[in-house]
Amino acid sequence: MWIHSTASRGLARRTLLGGALGLVGSGFCRASEPAKAAAAELGDLELDALVASVRALARGWREAPNAADGRFEERYLAALASLLTRLGEVELPGLELAPGSDPFDFASLVYYPPISIFAIAMAPGARFDLHDHRRANGGLCLRSGSLECRHYEFVDPAAAAESGAQAPAAGFDLRRTSTLALRSGQTATLGTERDNLHELVAGPEGAVLIDAFCFLGPELRSREVELLDPSVALPGEIRRARWKT
């Protein structure tokens, strides 16, 4: 028979507290070896280590028998984004935006098919117009500044010809999927179908980012897209589009 009283509840609380303090004193809450290993997996990477890890990851995804499975691709992209956030405080080569010059600057960090990794600097307010990444997937990580990423995807991927090919004169439909306002250390990814088109706009302080892609074709190709209705589409809305000429 249970007797519920204030005294018994107080005794139970004291017993639990005493047991918890005993566990702390015995070293139960010290970092375990698995926890230390997990913490090491979150540590910074040098540029060479990052490149090697991304290359191995991309090859693993591309050569996997279930590479076409959307869930498997999302696991790959999540792992890629995590790696990109781990790049330490390294000096990115070849990035310079001189006053009055082009509002973009690129530095190729690695180009070993099937992957490419670029460092990109964008001047304040600079914009990459809407473009596709057909037969490719990838991610970016903002290193400094701020960046807005506006994502679209093909409503019917078969309705639009391959990037760079002649598309039907009637155009094709795109669905606006998301808008991400990125700050330093944050990432955005796109799949071979999911969010495969995007436009990027640098914030008032500009943006520096790392851009990594894995491509399925013989080369990495991309082409700009023109929305026939220039009004801003909300997530879920569909817009008619065509390839820019």
Residue 168's pLDDT is: 55
Mean per-residue pLDDT, 88-114: 79
Residue 17's pLDDT is: 41
Q: Kindly report the average pLDDT of the chain as a whole number.
A: 81
Instruction: Name the band, by pLDDT with cuts 50, 70 and 90, for residue 94.
Output: low
Q: Find out whether 39 and 32 touch, Cβ atoms under 8 Å.
A: no
Q: What is the pLDDT of residues 20-49, one digit of tens each?
A: 444 445 554 566 776 665 566 678 888 889
Q: Which CATH number fits domain 36-243: 1.20.210.10, 2.60.120.10, 1.10.3980.10, 2.60.120.280?
A: 2.60.120.10
The region, left, alpha or beta by phi > 0 then psi within -120 to 50, assigned to residue 107 is: beta
Determine how many CB atoms are found less than 10 A away from the CB of residue 103: 15
Widest Cα–Cα separation across the chain: 85
Tokens 């609380």 — which residue? 13
Give the pTM: 0.78
Residue 220's pLDDT is: 65
Structure tokens at 4: 């519920």
Domain locations along the chain: 36-243
Q: Nearest Cα to 141, choosing from 62, 207, 76?
A: 207
Residue 28's pLDDT is: 47
Residue 40's pLDDT is: 61
Q: What is the pLDDT of residues 135-145, one digit of tens each?
A: 889 999 999 99
Mean per-residue pLDDT, 117-128: 93
Q: What is the DSSP string of the chain?
A: -----HHHHHHHHHHHHHHHHHHHHTTTTSPPHHHHHHHHTTS-B-HHHHHHHHHHHHHHHHHSTTTT-HHHHHHHHHHHHHHHHTB-S-PPTT----TTS-SEEEEEEEEETTEEEEEEEE-TT-EEEEEE-TTEEEEEEEEEEEEEEEEEEESSGGGSPPTTSPPPTT-EEEEEEEEEEEETT-EEEE-SSTT-EEEEEEEEEEEEEEEEEEESSSS----BEEESS-SPPPTT-EEEEEE--
Phi, psi of 38 (to 5 degrees): -65, -40
CA–CA gap between residue 238 and residue 217 (Å, rounded): 28
Instruction: Name the band, by pLDDT with cuts 50, 70 and 90, for residue 229.
Output: confident
Q: Find out whether 48 and 83 touch, Cβ atoms under 8 Å.
A: no
